[in-house]
Structure 1
Amino acid sequence: MLKEFESAQAQPIKYPITKMDDVVDDYFGTQIADQYRWLEDVHAPEVAAWVQEQNEFTEHFLNNCSFRQKLCDELEMIVMGETAQPPFQIGKRWFQFRAEVKQDQMVLFCGSSARDINTVLLDIDKLSEAEGEPLILGATAISPDGQTVAFMVSRGGSDWSIGRFRDIPSGRDYEEQITGLRLTRLSWDSESKGVFYFQHEISKNGDYTFAPYRPDGVKYHRLGTKTIDDKSVGGLTIAGAVLDPCVSEDGEYFLLQGQDITSFRQQYIFYRPAADLDAEFLLLQNPDKSPLSFVGSKDGYLYIATFFDAPNGRVVRVPALDPSVEKWVDVVPEDKDYPLSSAGEAAKLVGEFVLSVHENLANNRILLTRLDGRETKVIQPPLEGRLGSSSGAYLKIEATLSADGKEILFPWTSPFIEFATIAYNIETGTSRFLGTPRSHLDFENCSSEVIWGTSPDGTRVPVTLFFRKDLCSDLPRPVMFYAYGHAGFSVALKPYRPERVVWMNNGGVLAMVHSRGGGEFGQAWHNAGIGTNQQNTFNDCIACIEAVQQSGWTTPEKSCFTGASGGGFTTGTIMTQRPDLIAGSLPEVGLFDMLRYHILASRATEEVGTSETEEGFDTIFGYSALQAVRNDIPYPSTLIFIGQFDNRVNPAHSYKFAAALQATKQASERPMLLRVELDEGHGTVRRASIVRSRADFLTFAAMTTGLKVSDPVS
């Protein structure tokens, strides 16, 4: 441990006082105390005061670290610099998202040509100032004629958003605003007259923070009219499902893609001709209710990525007039070695081809297949990595044909590269970087290595290490383990993060654990880590930590563990089940009170389990981090992150877990800290907030593992 970490603890740590309640719940004859139940009332003044005390305490503790400012400076150079996304054309106009140096959120510009995109169309920071609200820009959608932008804004990063509209030629906003939007988008009709959207029941008291999912159905809003007059579309509502509306790129079909909120799985596709709002919907669904997603449509056929009768996924062609399973024809057959991605879009129609995305541990394998399925090529990018996406946690394939139709362009990323555009020549089969990859690492001096651990049931589990070769010649090194292990997502879905760059630039090693519950090896791998199999996820992570330590790369004193959301859940469980394996724990937006998971406004009960049944209680009690905390066990030093307006993971999980850890005997010697990001939700969005949050994250990780922080890399 670093000397200044030890000096920060020269005196016993005295935490803010947290009161305890005499609350006891009975779970099928087992009595469980819940001393911090009062912290579940997150809007209560006394809870707000407690949060303020916790934040002040954490700030004071971290401020004792001399290299905190160095880390902040390096992050600021990476995060707050000038940045731009590729320009795109809709109608006769060109658009581009850009941010100037130290600008908090991206600004949408428009112009008449690709070389003249200089008119500010949407600046959310200025809108926030004008309206006196901390607004966050969500999804945007330009009408097909390029005349109107529909955009979603939320307060403090909440999932609850409001849909608004701006006339592009005049820059003026329309009066109407659509409320009750959550985990949806605004999708224009093909004539640019209005948008489709999925609405939840509107909260009677105006507080949406932790309102449950109560679908009110798909609706259509005609631009320039009152939203109260919006018409329901098809009368479709499915209990426990969110329906995402969209119009196919060829304009032929209006689709509703349904995700089951208890499992994260997309299980339904309803569709009908886009030109006929009164037509009956047809249903596409896997007979076994396994995941499926829309790929595209052309010449009377739908192309669907499906995991039915194919645990590793395949792409099929479906006659639009008869979508019965018997009529499905394989276009991209199942690959036994490289499963389709199951986190969002798995494939996309690009010209006369299907571009499909397959998992290959931390990397993607990209295939290009003709629509008749007769020819498939493997795209070999210049460097290993993954398909880039600007769509949050879910993969959105942003591949397009070049203007001359000879190349396919798509974004590329990796732990070493923030952003690059790959141009793949269809005729020659070669690929190149279009422009210079954006990176804050000497990526040609970076490397990776795969190590395999063995779980208690004999399953071999890989962990991929990423590092700078010139800084890791001497072992052992500080290693930051990262895991997710949920929802069929690959742990490397979003590989590039600024804190990882700074970590590696200072000689740290990043270790991504490909545990069961993720999607690295298809649906069987995913299913082996959910529900009653959830413990496999944690066993896999423990096995990988031990394997990396036994290989000589690191030691328990130089190891820390982190993960966010489902990965935060994993982190809390790892640190309570095997506290001896790591020196630092940094769970973010995690689930810790699993006995009350179904009560605290959460949803994926099929994925992680529920205590509502005796069998479910027996299972979930074994890995609920809050109830696992014991007074006499020395847990690793811990810094918990949560957003004030997180309504995917209730902040009460983090509040109660922090309070329980601070009450343990060893907490006077090992810090147990809570950091609540005000005016943010499920993850930090604004760039200035990212700098502050990631600087504290790295400060704590370095303090606990002994990472030596150098001067910022210019």
Structure 2
Amino acid sequence: MIRTAALAALLATTALSSAAMAQTTPAPSTADAGAGFATSDATDPYLWLEEVEGERALAWVREQNTRSLGVLQGDPRYAQLHAEALEIVQSRDRIPSPGFRRQGDEEVIDNFWQDANHVRGIWRTTSVESYGTAEPVWETILDIDALAAAEGKNWVYKGASCLPPEERLCLVNLSDGGKDAVTVREFDRQTRQFVDGGFVLPESKGGATWIDRDTLLISRDFGEGTLTDSGYPRTVRLLRRGQSVDQAPVVFEGQQTDVSVSAYTLRDADGVVKATLLNRGINFYEAETWRLNADGTTTQLQLPAKSNINALIQGQLVVTTDQDWTAPSGQQFRTGDVISWNLEQWLANPATQAQLVIRPTERQAIEGISNTRNKLIVALYDNVRGSIYSYTPNPAGEWSRTRLNLPENTTVGIGSSSDHDDRVFVSASGYLTPSTLYLADATDGSTEQMKSLPAKFNADGMVVEQYEARSADGTMIPYFVVHQGDMAMDGSNPTLLYGYGGYQNSLLPGYSATVGKLWLERGGVYVVANTRGGGEFGPRWHQAALQQNRQRAHEDFQAVALDLQARNITSQPHLGIMGGSQGGLFMGAMLTQRPDLINGAVIQVPLFDMMRFHRLLAGASWIAEYGNPDIPEQRAWIAEYSPYQRLAAGQPYPEVFIHTSTKDDRVHPGHARKAAARLLELGYPVLFYENTDGGHGAAANLQETARRLALEYTYLSRRLMDTPAQE
């Protein structure tokens, strides 16, 4: 799916019982107890922990790592959990994710693969026919382990962009240790070598897109003054083969306060460029789209500020709008609508009439859009249950649809699609149902099962239930509970509640071998909260918890915790929570607002100091989600929930496990470090671990991933399965 927002780059309901409704009054605020702490640089004693590679900061990290690893790896359960996690993440019977790729006159399947023998991974290829067999014959294109060894680098593969239609020349993205910033190098898929004297872009956040074999549009860090306040590129330059980066002329420039600028091409199914587009990301959700004309001038396209360009099919430009909008034609469109124009006519006349392709209902959401040569492929969810449809335009631009033959009441996903014909890979899975991969024919909706993941844990007797909890403002919040069917409803069940609640990211039911093996199989209960701030019911569900309404999402999460206890599924001594990044902020809000509800929290690569989030790394790009702490009115609503400032003495905080990565160049590791330091200062037990590699995923390779998982589930076992929980 093509996106116009610059960074839009990470699942039977039952009425809430009256007992739960009676408990939805929030606990008294503890904000006053910490008034004045870290409300300015002068009152923050832990600013030095924001020095990512600072000697004092790293010494503190090493000390905490030694202590925390001693506790968790010293637990008798750790070794077994680690062995099971390592076996799962390095397993060779995973479904190799397929990607259609042109190779001469035929299509092949590319895949990136990691296992015990390929820790960093290999980029490899096979024929479509071979891929469909039990044992495909793979040919290695690029071995990242061998490359890292040869160059003495900690390379992490971040994907490749190949030039249509031949797709022989590719731009390979390589990250040092898992950072978002990447080095870009030109690679020849046919010779399987980096191109001698080819395009090379030094490490930077940003992007590069092909115009033709000798021309790129690049958005990078070009030196002082070329980045936005968010730390992303603010210029797009035209780079021709043989030029150095500093010789490339600027073709588009955004403003310092923008999130970023970027560029891409709209191509037809044969790879012919129909328009070259430039994105000015004003904030995380609003953008301008400009056309780069043949003479080097630019023309702004008449699109809603909150919109996504999804596809170009048979000359039809497909766009999703995330706001109510009156088109230049005078037509009225609603938030969440999918619309289309004849591209050529629309470029010539923005007042050209648009066609309405899809209008989701209040309980529906579009979770994915892609296209084949002739079809628009849409994953449409109804009450967090998915289906996939193929849409076809007629010569008048009107659309008909066909439902793909997939299991009902599952999570479905759109994979790679062909631009040679109308085949598309799709998947189906559930919490207890291993993923199955199908090759679908979007012409008639037929599907052929290609591969199925073997069960990775014993799900015999387990069930999935969907409930609703009433939030503080009366909104009903759906959530899923996965557990043993004969589980006693006596409040004694160790329960892990997961949440995210931001950026319109939906938490859809999916098969997790590690959750199943390391938690469910051992008697744990797994719960996923579909709170506002996510995208489970489309853009409005997300927008209901933006900025001054952020607390609604926190109250939604708290309502689910209360409902779990009201139903006697669990109780405070056995309830733990988990979330990362924005979900880490979620965990911090629960910890500081309702610590009486929980006995543990896994806080992963979190946001925590919301008074300074906009000054750290990519933080300024998230102002559209949270607000701007430099504006007094907005600072006031952020201060109401910012976890770092709200931490206070005398509260019933459980021991928490906080982890981050030194190489995370998206969410600054200072958030996690400062949270742990403040808790320790106040006298609370804290376990803190910082991986020195790994980026925002907190693990640069499979071995590090297994260690992180084992640490998390060892901690959760100690807190929620032991009685009483260990301190």
Whole-angstrom distance in 2 between the partners of 1:225 and 1:365: 48
Structure 2 partner of 1:129: 149
1:371 deviation in Å?
1.7
The 3-state SS of whatever aligns with 1:694 is helix
Structure 2 partner of 1:515: 531
Q: Is the 2:320–2:336 Cα contact (8 Å) retained in structure 1?
A: no
Structure 2 partner of 1:150: 171
1:222 deviation in Å?
3.7
The 3-state SS of whatever aligns with 1:136 is strand
Structure 2 partner of 1:645: 663
Q: Which runs of 5+ in 2 are unaligned?
A: 1-35, 131-135, 325-333
Of residues 537, 551, 562, the one that matches 1:535 is 551
* Cα pair distance change 1:305/1:131, threshold 3 Å: same
1:643 deviation in Å?
0.9
* Cα pair distance change 1:215/1:480, threshold 3 Å: same
Whole-angstrom distance in 2 between the partners of 1:384 and 1:35: 51
The 3-state SS of whatever aligns with 2:69 is helix
Q: Is the 1:490–1:519 Cα contact (8 Å) retained in structure 2?
A: yes
* Cα pair distance change 1:62/1:236, threshold 3 Å: closer
Structure 2 partner of 1:55: 65
* Cα pair distance change 1:429/1:467, threshold 3 Å: farther
For residue 365 of structure 1, what is the amino acid of its counterpart?
Answer: S
Structure 2 partner of 1:393: none
Deviates more, 1:411-420 or 1:563-572: 411-420
Q: Is the 1:480–1:510 Cα contact (8 Å) retained in structure 2?
A: yes
Matches within 5 A, 1:461-500: 461-467=477-483, 469=485, 476-492=492-508, 496=512, 498-499=514-515
Of residues 75, 79, 88, the one that matches 1:69 is 79
The 3-state SS of whatever aligns with 1:662 is helix
The 3-state SS of whatever aligns with 1:335 is coil
For residue 83 of structure 2, what is the amino acid of its counterpart?
Answer: D
Q: Is the 1:197–1:245 Cα contact (8 Å) retained in structure 2?
A: yes
Q: Is the 1:179–1:202 Cα contact (8 Å) retained in structure 2?
A: no
Of residues 684, 693, 702, the one that matches 1:687 is 702
Structure 2 partner of 1:200: 221
Q: Is the 2:441–2:447 Cα contact (8 Å) retained in structure 1?
A: yes
Structure 1 partner of 2:330: none
Question: TM-score scaled by structure 2?
Answer: 0.82
Whole-angstrom distance in 1 between the partners of 2:359 and 2:43: 49
Q: Is the 1:98–1:107 Cα contact (8 Å) retained in structure 2?
A: yes
Deviations 1:377-403 (A, max 9, x none): 3335225443447xxxxxxx5334796
Matches within 5 A, 1:239-638: 239-250=257-268, 251-256=272-277, 258=279, 260=281, 262=283, 264-265=284-285, 267-271=287-291, 277-278=294-295, 280-287=297-304, 289-290=305-306, 292-309=307-324, 310-323=334-347, 326-341=351-366, 346-372=368-394, 373-379=398-404, 381-382=406-407, 384-388=409-413, 398-400=416-418, 405=422, 408-416=424-432, 419-426=435-442, 429-441=445-457, 446-467=462-483, 469=485, 476-492=492-508, 496=512, 498-499=514-515, 501-601=517-617, 602-603=619-620, 604-638=622-656
Q: Is the 1:594–1:610 Cα contact (8 Å) retained in structure 2?
A: no
1:219 deviation in Å?
2.7
* Cα pair distance change 1:480/1:111, threshold 3 Å: closer
Structure 2 partner of 1:181: 204
Structure 1 partner of 2:120: 105
For residue 354 of structure 1, what is the amino acid of its counterpart?
Answer: L
Q: Is the 1:480–1:561 Cα contact (8 Å) retained in structure 2?
A: yes
Q: Which has the higher contact order (CA 8 A, sep 6+)?
A: 2
Deviations 1:390-438 (A, max 9, x none): xxxxxxx5334796x5x54324444445643223455664545323235
Deviations 1:449-507 (A, max 9, x none): 11111111111111112345477898742221111111111133977473455322323
Q: Is the 1:147–1:168 Cα contact (8 Å) retained in structure 2?
A: yes
Of residues 179, 182, 189, the one that matches 1:161 is 182
Deviations 1:653-694 (A, max 9, x none): 1111001111234x2xxx311110111211124111110111
Whole-angstrom distance in 2 between the partners of 1:59 and 1:43: 21
For residue 637 of structure 2, what is the amino acid of its counterpart?
Answer: T
Deviations 1:609-663 (A, max 9, x none): 2321221222111101111111111202200111111121111111110011112
Whole-angstrom distance in 2 between the partners of 1:575 and 1:605: 23
* Cα pair distance change 1:69/1:255, threshold 3 Å: farther
For residue 124 of structure 2, what is the amino acid of its counterpart?
Answer: F
The 3-state SS of whatever aligns with 1:598 is helix
In the alignment, does 2:116 pair up with 1:91?
A: no
Deviations 1:359-381 (A, max 9, x none): 44544332322224442233352
Whole-angstrom distance in 1 between the partners of 2:229 and 2:442: 49
Structure 2 partner of 1:15: none
The 3-state SS of whatever aligns with 2:76 is coil
For residue 591 of structure 1, what is the amino acid of its counterpart?
Answer: L
* Cα pair distance change 1:641/1:612, threshold 3 Å: same
Deviations 1:202-241 (A, max 9, x none): 369x9x9x99425242234344553333343455668514
Q: Is the 1:249–1:296 Cα contact (8 Å) retained in structure 2?
A: no
Whole-angstrom distance in 1 between the partners of 2:600 and 2:351: 54
* Cα pair distance change 1:306/1:77, threshold 3 Å: same
Whole-angstrom distance in 2 between the partners of 1:533 and 1:112: 51
Q: Is the 1:417–1:440 Cα contact (8 Å) retained in structure 2?
A: no
Q: Is the 1:247–1:255 Cα contact (8 Å) retained in structure 2?
A: yes
For residue 143 of structure 1, what is the amino acid of its counterpart?
Answer: L
For residue 97 of structure 2, what is the amino acid of its counterpart?
Answer: Q
Q: Is the 2:390–2:445 Cα contact (8 Å) retained in structure 1?
A: no
* Cα pair distance change 1:43/1:494, threshold 3 Å: farther
1:349 deviation in Å?
2.6
Computed over aligned residues only, the root mean square deviation of the Cα atoms, in angstroms, reads: 3.3
Deviations 1:224-275 (A, max 9, x none): 553333343455668514334333341233444637364x225333345xxx
Q: Is the 1:314–1:332 Cα contact (8 Å) retained in structure 2?
A: yes
For residue 139 of structure 1, what is the amino acid of its counterpart?
Answer: G
Whole-angstrom distance in 2 between the partners of 1:558 and 1:256: 52
